[in-house]
Amino acid sequence: MKAVILAAGQGTRMGPLTRNMPKVMLPIANKPVLLHVLLSAREAGIKEFVLVVGYRADTVKKYFGDGSEMNISIKYAQQKKQLGTADAVRVAQEHVDGRFLVLNGDIIVSMQHIKNLVKHKSDVIMTAMHVENPSEFGVLEVSDDRVLRIIEKPKKPPTNLANAGIYVFPPSIFDAIRRTPLSTRNEYEITDSLQLLIDDGVDVGYVTLSGNWLDIGRPWDLLDANEYLLSCLQPELKGEIEPLATLKGSVSAGEGTVIRNGAYIVGPVIIGRNCDIGPNCYIRPGTSIGDDVRIGNAVEIKNSIIMNGTHIGHLSYVGDSIIGERCNFGAGTKVANLRHDGRTIRVKLKGKLVDSGRRKLGTIMGDDVHTGINSMINAGAVVESGAMISPGKFVK
């Protein structure tokens, strides 16, 4: 069975993080989100993939190529305009034959769930998950193991089974897509196509989600997923560890990396290739550091994602933050990650304040940001790509 992975969107809810790369290429545990999706499907026995790409498609193609390095086959389908999930499935038609699996490039599920899904005998199989707030989701009305109706955000949900957006489809889905009207969001929704199949009498079954579920919708979801995936990694040290550096727990470091004397690192932590760490820095659990990163003297980093090519100057603090590529922190830059009143931290995304639900959250910073010495960045601050922060400035 082939797998179609939907990876065409920009991910505008991720703020500045997707200015230069699609959401599916953002790193978690030093691997793109999309790579984690592919690896999970490969472990389930899937060998042939169709990636539906659109925004910054060249970034995806350059990284994955034809898939031969992963011992899989990858074909690409271009969605020129993001016109909805049904349209994204439609553009993959020429690359599939027979039944096929559909995954989202920003949702990581377990290998076991994919196995459970593909062995189900219904014509169409949906993934359902139990949720506490079904009125905020597309909800399945079911009878025994069959889906009777899909209701978007109902005021009185018939069940607490939400559509998780992972499917197995027969070729007849493409005819249903051609008959699918535009939704109120001016998109072609795959759930509307599914409802047409249900109305046609097609056997639509469902499998309840099993294993872990990592849905990367907002920036702080990256931190949650990063923390979980790091906890599963086996440590691997390939760099140089100077004799007076201290490593505790699961710590990985790539080739060409130097961890200098006085560095104190408590895993789970992953450090990429050709990094310069320390001396006398403190890296705390849940931190991912990309390639070509410099962490200076007396720097403390906690539960954060530091992307490729970034330099964190000495005497700086970064906590519960996502820092883009090629940023440069002047000495003494401090990132706050906790409100004085202890309330959850709100973040402005797409012009609206959104409650992150997190008590601790630092900054969400795009690429190529430079901070001056003694800059201060408040909890929940969003810093756009290319920003230049003056010495001593307080960023709200």
User: Which among 85, 92, 101, 27 is positioned nearest to 59, based on CA atoms?
Assistant: 27
Taking the C-alpha atoms of residue 380 and residue 361, their distance in angstroms, rounded to an integer, is: 6
Report how far residue 316's alpha carbon sits from residue 295's, in angstroms, rounded to the nearest whole number: 9
Question: Which of 64, 108, 103, 66 is CA-nearest to residue 85?
Answer: 103
Query: Which residue is it, tokens 């070509």?
Result: 292
Catalytic residue among 113, 120, 314, 370: 314
- Does the active-site annotation cover 120? no
**Which amino acid is present at 377?**
I
User: Beta-carbon neighbour count of residue 181 at 10 Å?
Assistant: 8
How is residue 307 written in tokens? 């992307």
- C-alpha–C-alpha distance, residues 310 and 98, integer Å: 46
**36 phi-psi bin (left φ>0, alpha ψ -120 to 50, beta other):** alpha
Asked, as a colleague might, if the bond just before 134 is cis with ω within 30 of 0, I would say no
CA gap 236, 223 in Å, rounded: 22
Q: Enter the DSSP assignment of 209.
A: -
With tokens 């179609």, the residue in question is: 4
Task: Name, in order, each residue with C-beta under 8 angstroms of 256's C-beta and a sequence gap of 6 or more.
Answer: 239, 273, 274, 275
User: Up-side HSE of residue 237: CA atoms within 13 Å toward CB?
Assistant: 13
- Quick check: 54 and 76 in contact, CB under 8 A? no
DSSP annotation of 4 reads E
Query: Do 302 and 308 meet the contact criterion of CB atoms below 8 Å apart?
Result: no
SS3 143: strand
Write out the catalytic residue numbers. 314
